[in-house]
């Protein structure tokens, strides 16, 4: 949107819809090697909802809203069912190459929730905005708890949360 490429969204919406799984997960098949992981869920949801925020395009919003609701519901279900309140842990597949909770998945998910709330408010989906704000608040608390539990004073934020493994042990098998 900031580069004037708004048409990108309309062209890519059909493949995006086709890759959304029944549980709402927005799956990037180029990264996942057949696994159901959160590799692109947060960034994709953020991108779609941020487009609504940037353009105020109500037609686009009404077109994508079922996808958005389903994607946010995927976050809610992961959050409610995960013992740490985060989105599902993953296996080593990308730059971080960790087995466990990817910090980036959770940061992107938090940003996506914030963008989805803003978009919902802009297009008059007040029930969604209210419900998603409650979800955001408990999820943000879980992310902050994970940061506190995973970072020692003076350290950089880790690439993963809690007990994650990396290196050859993470890639075994």
Longest distance between any two alpha carbons in the chain, whole Å: 49
Q: Reply yes or no on whether the pLDDT at 164 is more than 80.
A: yes
Supply the pTM of this predicted model. 0.90
DSSP 78-111: HHHHSTTSSSPPB-S-STT-EEEEEHHHHHHHHH
Q: 138 near 79, Cβ under 8 Å?
A: yes
Residue 159 CA to its chain's centroid (Å): 16
The sign of the CA dihedral 71, 72, 73, 77 is positive
Q: Which run of H or E residues covers position 162?
A: strand 160-166
| Average pLDDT estimate for 110-130 | 97
Alpha carbons 173 and 169: distance in angstroms, whole number: 9
- 35 pLDDT band, cuts 50/70/90, is confident
| Average pLDDT estimate for 96-113 | 91
Q: 């996506």: which residue's tokens?
A: 112
Q: Name 32's Cβ contacts closer than 8 Å, sequence gap at least 6.
A: 39, 93
The sign of the CA dihedral 34, 35, 39, 41 is positive
Q: Which run of H or E residues covers position 159?
A: none
Alpha carbons 144 and 142: distance in angstroms, whole number: 5
- 145 pLDDT band, cuts 50/70/90, is very high
At 173 the pLDDT is: 62
Q: Is 26 left (phi over 0), alpha (psi -120 to 50) or beta?
A: beta
Q: 73 near 79, Cβ under 8 Å?
A: no
């Amino acid at each position: 949107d900031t580069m004037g490429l708004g048409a990108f969204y309309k062209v890519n919406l059909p493949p995006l819809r086709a890759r959304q799984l029944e549980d709402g997960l927005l799956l990037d098949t180029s990264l996942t090697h057949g696994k159901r992981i959160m590799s692109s869920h947060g960034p994709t949801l953020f991108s779609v909802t941020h487009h609504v925020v940037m353009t105020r395009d109500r037609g686009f919003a009404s077109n994508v809203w079922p996808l958005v609701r389903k994607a946010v519901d995927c976050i809610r279900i992961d959050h409610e069912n995960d013992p740490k309140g985060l989105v599902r842990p993953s296996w080593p597949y990308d730059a971080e190459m960790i087995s466990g909770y990817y910090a980036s998945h959770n940061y992107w998910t938090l940003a996506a929730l914030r963008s989805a709330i803003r978009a919902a408010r802009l297009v008059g989906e007040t029930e969604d905005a209210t419900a998603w704000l409650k979800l955001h608040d408990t999820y943000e608390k879980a992310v902050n708890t994970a940061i506190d539990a995973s970072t020692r004073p003076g350290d950089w934020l880790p690439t993963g949360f809690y007990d994650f493994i990396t290196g050859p042990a993470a890639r075994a098998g």
